[in-house]
A and B are shown apart, each in its own frame.
Chain A
């Protein structure tokens, strides 16, 4: 078997996400690369939620429409997904609440409420029973599931194992699909959400404090870090608003405490005044900006790539900023840490621009990249003479010192300021402040030329150019049509040289984005690059491989 696609559908709040993640870990332990897309309404309980779990021998980070198996906790899991299923699809359903029409050849019902009642288990754990049944249906060694559940549910293992065994006992072999251990020889890979990967990358680069106000889709970063806080000796702070979040972050930065904040567009709107302060006061800041469908409240649990220009241009005044847009878990890990390093090295705000698909999606993660990321030291004052926080230097970067330093005053300021950090309205000083900031940007830009800031996959005279979470779907689609994929991970300072190089030999450019205006194409245009065709999607849902294939075919015609 080359791959497996599974739909899990049920009421929001009753374990759909957990069932999907457990299934991802199971398939990962069997040797597959996995990806999960999670689609849910902005409800706590009720409504229809579904997760699409995909396993493949190739590395993947996109979903497909057609599924091989459905786990149906309620009727909508079948009724709303007719386009995804066929008579051969394996259907495991709750026989007490779901009815399956005749004609499905591989359907089997499990009386979930009864099984859960007998096991004294909560409703959210029905998924373990279903996964047990799926193991039988797909010829998966139940011992792998047993080990997995033991590892992840210590203390509750008796109950969850009983549920899985019950499911396994009820089901039979269904259909012709096998998902045995593919024993790729590689150890099982961890399964991380984009949010977890971001948190881990920040930690590796020396994060000491994380400040955030709850907001989909970045809250899991805070939740992960808060749980790890005692072990990792970090502080996680949830203040009264995103305004306070950003200001607290800058208070930490003034004291030399590496920190990060996370939010989405609405929260970032409130952070913008603090962003400008980071710019003028040269206080490092790291902002994880997880895009979702706007404007305003929009569709809170759905995705978009509509905030690129907001992030590039937010705040009055001119100052450098770093913007990176990772496309999967490994990039989220590496570039979050790298962005934190550069924020401190250049004393600027840095953005990790993500979206709901990346933040809340789950991915196989290759732990061998962990050692590639190290904490970099910022430029620190040598302790000689009187300290000037904003001392002019050849690079524009003034050495840092943090209170307390005996005999020195460390002054920072939201006003235009002299080298000491005292307010000034002198025209030469005002100009000097801007020149200093722009000088830092030039040095940052040069340093980033050593990084793979524009990624390239495959070869072809036509290139799909994408950013962020569209990486995976573009790579798969391009392979089918023999196209090249170009993915700028760095969006500011814009990697003109690297993009120019990537476009050598390309005579046709198609941009792929989840917004209505073609925001990357607009940015490219500002730098002299032209898109021949734009493929845009802005309904809150990411492209499936099937959808993008169709769009690309039309664009090529």
Chain B
């Protein structure tokens, strides 16, 4: 798969959960290109954090944005070029904390972007502080006696906000994760995966996840009540209960971009612009 890599050295910790996300993205891309998708039509966007390094490693169109701000960039890219596939990589500190507003609004609008959220439930690059989804027992440098706050359930928020594809994945379950990833990318509209990405250094949950992660299949992905039930079956508070992974919800709704004019390369249209401007000015006499 080296055809998709840049020469940038990979600087994640050995055993980092991000490796399997990177490998899976490459594998799914290879499949999609084999099915007729064009590589240049993919644009990947990241925030800032360990997740964001993925855009340096992939030899693709990319926009490494700032902390918490991948999503508005991705929304504009999609508005600019409607037939592009825009994939946002985001982190839990990055997008569940700093940039939550953008996530909720992208779901509300059903913006045609894919968000892959690397949820390691800690700040990695900032070296081990609690995030909006850290388990209640988590102790880090800024709260050595434990967190005073409960985590929230981001998937419940997204379901309420209007996301049209919601899933949770665990990349260690490789085949399951890759299928989920491919489904998410193929979905038209706002598509979201909460990825249980393990931070080996600051919040090593491999053994807890290996024991408790449970693949589930909903009967009807368009059934919002069933989705809500599955999503509520795990509240991120603890890690010693069953943790559902899979596609929880998928439905069709008109995309955000449909409410805007579509840009074309029509030069005749451009030439008429000067006259239209003069007309607008004349109307103000």
Binding site for B on A (CB under 8 A): 25, 28-29, 151, 188-192, 196, 200, 203-204, 208-209, 211, 228-235, 237, 239-241, 243-245, 247-252, 254-257, 273-274, 276-277, 365, 367, 370, 403-415, 420-423
Contacts and interface: CB of A to CB of B under 8 A. Distances in A.
B261 A273 contact: no
A248 B273 CA distance: 24
A241 B84 CA distance: 25
A423 B8 CA distance: 8
A409 B281 contact: no
B69 A243 contact: yes
A251 B77 contact: yes
B60 A248 contact: no
A232 B264 CA distance: 12
Interface in B58-113: 59-66, 69, 72-77, 79-81, 84, 101-102, 105
B219 interface: no
- Of all A-B residue pairs in the complex, the 5 with the closest CB atoms, nearest first, are A251-B76, A255-B80, A404-B40, A247-B72, A251-B73
Interface of B: 6-8, 38, 40-41, 43, 45, 48, 53, 55-56, 59-66, 69, 72-77, 79-81, 84, 101-102, 105, 260-261, 263-264, 269, 273-274, 276-278, 280-285
A370 B281 contact: yes
Contacts of A423: 8, 53, 56, 64
A417 to B, nearest CB: 8
B64 A415 contact: yes
A233 B263 contact: yes
Contacts of A233: 261, 263-264, 269
A365 B284 contact: yes
A69 B60 CA distance: 67
Contact of B60 (A204, A243, A409): A409
Contacts of A204: 274, 277
Contacts of B281: 190, 192, 200, 365, 367, 370
Contacts of A28: 285
B35 to A, nearest CB: 17
Contacts of A230: 261
A155 B17 CA distance: 65
30 contacts: A189-B285, A190-B281, A190-B282, A231-B276, A233-B261, A235-B79, A237-B76, A240-B101, A244-B101, A250-B76, A252-B76, A252-B77, A252-B80, A255-B76, A257-B80, A274-B66, A277-B65, A277-B66, A404-B40, A406-B38, A407-B40, A409-B60, A411-B62, A411-B63, A414-B48, A414-B64, A414-B65, A420-B6, A422-B7, A423-B8
B97 to A, nearest CB: 14
Contacts of B76: 209, 211, 237, 247-252, 255, 257
Given A189-B285, A235-B263, A237-B260, 19 more contacts: A188-B285, A190-B281, A190-B282, A192-B284, A204-B274, A208-B263, A235-B261, A239-B105, A247-B65, A249-B76, A251-B75, A370-B274, A403-B40, A404-B41, A409-B59, A409-B61, A410-B62, A414-B64, A422-B6
